[in-house]
Chains A and B, each alone.
Chain A
Amino acid sequence: MAIGAGVIAMDTLTLLFHGTQAVFQPLNFLFLILGCVLGQAIGVLPGIGSAAAIALLIPVTLNLSPTASVIMLAGIFYGTNYGGTITSVLMNTPGESASVVTAIDGYQMAKKGRGGPALGIAAIGSFIGGTVGTLGLAFGAQWFSDTALKIGASEYFALMIFAVALVTVLATGSPVKALLMGVLGLLIGTIGIDPDLGIPRFTFGQIKLYDGINFIAIVIGFFGLGEILVNIERKVQDTIYTQVGSVLPNKQDLRDSAAPIARGTLIGFVLGIIPGATSAIASFLSYGVEVNRAKDPSRFGKGAIEGVAGPETANNSFVNANFIPLFTLGIPGTASIAMIMSGMMSNGIVPGPFLFRDNPDFVWTVIASMLIGQVILLVFNLPMVRIWVLLLKIPYSILFVLILEFTLIGAYAVSYDTFNMYVMTISGFFGYLFKKMDFPATPFVLTLVIGPLIEKNLRKSLEISSGEFAIFYQRPMTLILLLGAAFTIIWPVFKWLKMRLKNQKESSRSRNGGA
């Protein structure tokens, strides 16, 4: 057993070594640097997140090799987290949701003139979390992949339903709204020619709809334009940020941060494997753990370095572990990962159990690039903080117009069709309306991307069983996953009902008491 594990570890190291060699090929390395730089910039700049940025750049990658493309898209994804920290700490305006918690203590540190060490420890924690997350991916993914190869269509269908259930329940706000968004995504995925019988569905006689609605254009609209519309309805505020100073944490800072970084790495990694968990959950959970473990919890919220170190580490460990369900099961856990999945598919790479078997060179090069990417980000982040801050001097009134232009280019270039510009604009408007009413976008994007796979596996399962639904309860793993999905969805409803009953009892008791 131990010898077997040792052999697997050696194999993994050899594959990683080969992957590393491939990363240093000029084109791959250039696009790795480009992805990291773009990710940092996008994290710093307001108004555009990693999901929209990746969607915008997918058309550009179609002229590249699949490896260089995905190296760049992945770089944008994990690079965004590094950049997002800068605005959180210096301006108290988190670039993305995962950095919200960093702003609590990070901004307080900056106000006390310790913005530099806050950014420094965030970068160090991010580096450790990201590296451990990637190593976990490298050593764990093969096992996941081998296990996933043993599952059939019904299990795969059940697994995806379970992932969708987790995403909807873990989304912020009402689970009913999240489910509605999930179903809407599935529904849009059915538009076009039916893959089995070749019959058009919901195309209204429009030939442009025969291939379905391009989901990249929809995502660009939802996340890119939708965000801009939310921002421009208010008056744009001037950028106010604190000074950076030295970025090097002192010995005491490092001592205080060591344990939070270790705990953050573990929290982020475990949550990263679960589809539907978000990096915001990972960072908030890490923050909660640090507050609970602190000897003096009252320091938190007033500039405690542990409140920056733990969440930032969790956030980056999460992001890299997120690739495990994508690479091994073909299931994206977050909107950005869903976009990387579509980037892979657009480049002819199918994520899932066969990825390691069919495209080993690709997958190990991408994993190795993520390890090297962490080093690049650390080098770019710490000494160059002041340069990134300069980006914040671009007035939003100019920036938003340029982002609008890129949303149009991204939507058009995905299939060189102006029809997608309409799709993007209309999606953006709906994205804006849904955002205003707290309908979460992630379940929508997830089901939009994996919807056709869900339908394919559902139909395949029923074809295998000659239309008998018994296949879903006679196969143990399928049954467990479906029961898990049902429990995941029903539990919040049960909790809500219980809370209502409790409220009713209390109000009737107070009425009786009053009488």
Chain B
Amino acid sequence: MKRAENITASIFMVLGIFVIKGATSLIYMTDIGPGPGFFPMWLGVLLLFLGMLLIIQNVFSKKNAEIVSAEPSEPLWPGKAGAIRVAIVVLSLLAVAFFISYVGFRIAIFLLISSLLYTLGKQKILTTLSVAFVGSFGVYFVFTHFLYVELPKASLSWLSALGL
């Protein structure tokens, strides 16, 4: 936990330096008051300071933590199987974000639901396909016809010709 926190705090500090650097290229003060660089500059300083403070806090509380952590606790990060599940979901969503404008909402969501239900949900093929159909075509119909929310349509000509 402490190691992960220290890494995160370091990332915050690097971000702080980056923001300070970015803010210096903006106008700090104008004739009438603070410029666009004023607020980010101070936020960068705060990030740097707080990141440092978190590391210092962790270093100081290390001894206490060693005494307290005699009891075994739940591991912070998932095992390999858990990490794979998390990665599958994140990558699937990114894939949908990429392909949805080409294949349209209905195809992209049908593939997302069916693949996730089959692999992670361990559902039977019939349940998988039924839920995927309702979740994609059914939801599309409800959103576009009743809620007036337009969802992406396929830009690929052959899919577009099919009305998808």
Give residues in A with beta carbon < 8 Å to B. 59-60, 63, 174, 176-177, 179-180, 183-184, 186-187, 190, 194, 196-197, 199, 201-202, 225, 228-229, 232-234, 395, 397-398, 400-402, 404-405, 407-409, 412-413, 416, 418, 421-422, 424-425, 428-429, 432-433, 436-437, 439, 455, 458-460, 462-463, 466-467, 496, 500, 503
| B145 CB → nearest A CB, Å | 12
Q: Is B72 interfacial (CB 8 A cutoff)?
A: no
- Please determine whether A409 and B116 come into contact, CB atoms closer than 8 angstroms: no
| A513 CB → nearest B CB, Å | 17
- Please determine whether B47 and A180 come into contact, CB atoms closer than 8 angstroms: yes
Given contacts A401-B116, A458-B34, contact A201 B40 (CB under 8 A): yes
- Please determine whether B94 and A425 come into contact, CB atoms closer than 8 angstroms: yes
9 A-B pairs within 8 Å (CB atoms) are namely A63-B149, A177-B5, A190-B39, A202-B19, A409-B149, A422-B94, A436-B76, A437-B5, A459-B38
| A248 CB → nearest B CB, Å | 37
Closest to A193 in B: B36
| A53 CB → nearest B CB, Å | 15
Give residues in B with beta carbon < 8 Å to A. 1, 4-5, 8-9, 12, 15, 19, 22, 26-27, 29-30, 32-36, 38-40, 43-44, 46-47, 50-51, 53-54, 57, 60, 64, 76-78, 82-83, 85-86, 89-90, 93-94, 96-97, 100-101, 109, 112-113, 116-117, 120-123, 127, 131, 135, 139, 143, 147-152
| B96 CB → nearest A CB, Å | 6
Residues of A within 8 A of B93 (CB): 225, 404, 407-408, 421, 424-425, 428
Residues of A within 8 A of B36 (CB): 194, 196-197, 199, 201
- Please determine whether A463 and B33 come into contact, CB atoms closer than 8 angstroms: yes
Task: State which of A177, A180, A228, A401 has its C-beta within 8 Å of the C-beta of B121.
Answer: A401
Closest to A232 in B: B85
- Please determine whether B54 and A176 come into contact, CB atoms closer than 8 angstroms: yes
- Please determine whether B8 and A439 come into contact, CB atoms closer than 8 angstroms: yes
Residues of B within 8 A of A496 (CB): 57
Residues of B within 8 A of A395 (CB): 121
- Please determine whether B90 and A425 come into contact, CB atoms closer than 8 angstroms: yes
Residues of A within 8 A of B5 (CB): 177, 437
- Please determine whether A409 and B86 come into contact, CB atoms closer than 8 angstroms: no
- Please determine whether B40 and A202 come into contact, CB atoms closer than 8 angstroms: yes
- Please determine whether B39 and A458 come into contact, CB atoms closer than 8 angstroms: yes
Other A-B contacts than A404-B116, A413-B151, A467-B34, 15 sampled, CB-CB below 8 A, are A179-B50, A180-B50, A194-B36, A197-B36, A201-B22, A228-B89, A232-B82, A397-B117, A401-B131, A404-B93, A421-B96, A432-B86, A436-B4, A436-B77, A437-B76
- Please determine whether B54 and A467 come into contact, CB atoms closer than 8 angstroms: no
Task: State which of B35, B64, B123, B131 has its C-beta within 8 Å of the C-beta of A197.
Answer: B35
